Amino acid sequence: MKIIVTGSSGQVGSYLVEHFSKDHEVTGLDNRPCPFPAAAKFSKKIDIAKTRDLNAYLKNADWVIHTAAQVSVERSLKDPIFDAENNVIGTVNVLWNAFKSDASNLLYISSAAVYGNPVKVPLPEDHPTNPLSPYGASKLCGEKYTLAFAAAYGLCVTIVRPFNIYSSRADPASPYSGVITKFVRWAKEGKPLLIEGDGKQTRDFVHMDDVVRMADLVVKKPKASVGRTFNCGTGKRSTVLDLADAIRILSGGEAEIKHVDPRVGDIKHSCADITSAEEVLGYFPKVPLDKGLKEMMA
């Protein structure tokens, strides 16, 4: 199969390029050089938000997997225009080019940020969507455009909403990194692990291997997945306090845990209902949090 992955220099995109290139013809697209050698050799430098004609890359693709995005909630709050330019305009451009280039299928990687404050936990895919940040709004807008292209142009689409992704490729130097990446970095540097609030807030931390596993299942089962939206998580909740304690233990028990002021607008609880992915795709997460944390600390 011919597979195009946008955002191939990022955490999600680079893993997908590396995975699918083992058995398929893969091209990655990104506006910055890929820092991961296994994915870099398949990547082309191109800005999908500004390059109007992508036909040379997308023509007759079996799958376009769209991961390219501005992925930081914090940055979206500081610069919502930059967020929209990347996440909305970039997505519309990819969708339009996928249609014009006769791509067979498109997988849109969205985010659990589209849900906002949960009405119930775990969150099913039909849960109300009321994002609390420009990032969440832009990802939801991307979903709506994706479904609109399916309705208006007959494009075969699937949407996946990952929850809290973590992997060793997340940039620890970035101020926008997730809590696991931050805790691991601080523990390795001998710095205190800073918990915002009481630490009793819960999250569904999903390892990158399981995100790749779901994408692989979608690609292998296009007839089952077309037109569907799937949560990608573990279905299990972990408190931030327990997370910090686990990393403290893995680091030798010397890391100090400190509490700071809670983040304004922070969601208290979040967890994926993965029933649909289990029943339709046969998806079952295989990387437990303790195993993933050991890998991160190594």
User: Could you give the residue numbers annotated as active site?
Assistant: 135
Q: What is the DSSP letter of 86?
A: I
Side-chain half-sphere CA neighbours of 219 within 13 A:
23
CB 111 within 8 A of CB 136: yes
Q: Which two tokens stand for residue 123?
A: 């969150």
Q: What is the number of other CB atoms lying within 10 angstroms of the CB of residue 270?
A: 21
Measure Cα distances from 15 to 77, 96, 121 in Å.
27, 25, 29
Our CA dihedral for 98, 127, 134, 63, rounded to 10 degrees, sits at: -20
Burial 99-111 (b: 16+ CB within 10 A, else e): bebebebbbbbbb
Assess contact for 76 and 84: CB atoms under 8 A. Answer: no
Cβ within 8 Å of residue 25, ≥6 positions away: 1, 2, 3
- From CA 37, how far away is CA 82, in angstroms rounded? 28
d(CA 172, CA 152): 41
DSSP 113-151: GGSBS-SSSSBPTTS--B-SSHHHHHHHHHHHHHHHHHH
Torsion angles phi and psi, residue 6, rounded to 5: -85, 155
